[in-house]
Amino acid sequence: MFQKRQLRIIYLVILIITIVLIYKSFTQHKVNDDEVEQTSGGDALLKPSAPVYVVVYYEALCPDSKNFVLHQLLPAYERAPELMDIEFVPFGKASWTTKSDGSLEFECQHGPIECEANTIHACVVEAVREPRTRLDMVACMIKNNIMPRDIFYRCAKDHGVEIESIKKCYDSPHGAELLKVHGEATHALRPAVTFIPTVTLDGAQYVQKSILKDLFGNVCQVVSGRGPKPDVCK
* Structural domain spans, the chain: 52-225
User: What are 69-119's pLDDT values in tens digits?
Assistant: 999 999 999 999 999 999 999 999 999 999 999 999 999 999 999 999 999
The 10s digit of each residue's pLDDT in 200-231 is 999 999 999 999 999 999 999 999 999 899 99
| Residues in contact with 150: Cβ distance below 8 Å, sequence separation at least 6, in sequence order | none
Is 0.85 surpassed by the pTM of this model? no
Q: Does domain 52-225 have CATH number 3.40.50.2300?
A: no
Asked if residue 15 has pLDDT above 50, the reply is no
Query: What pLDDT is attached to residue 20?
Result: 43
More confident residue, 39 or 124: 124
Query: Is the pLDDT score of 159 beyond 90?
Result: yes
pLDDT tens digit sequence for 26-83? 444 333 333 323 333 333 444 657 899 999 999 999 999 999 999 999 999 999 999 9
Q: Is the pLDDT of residue 25 over 60?
A: no
Interval 143-159 mean pLDDT: 97
Tell me what pLDDT residue 47 has. Answer: 65
Going by C-beta distance under 8 Å and a sequence separation of 6 or more, which residues neighbour residue 8?
Answer: none
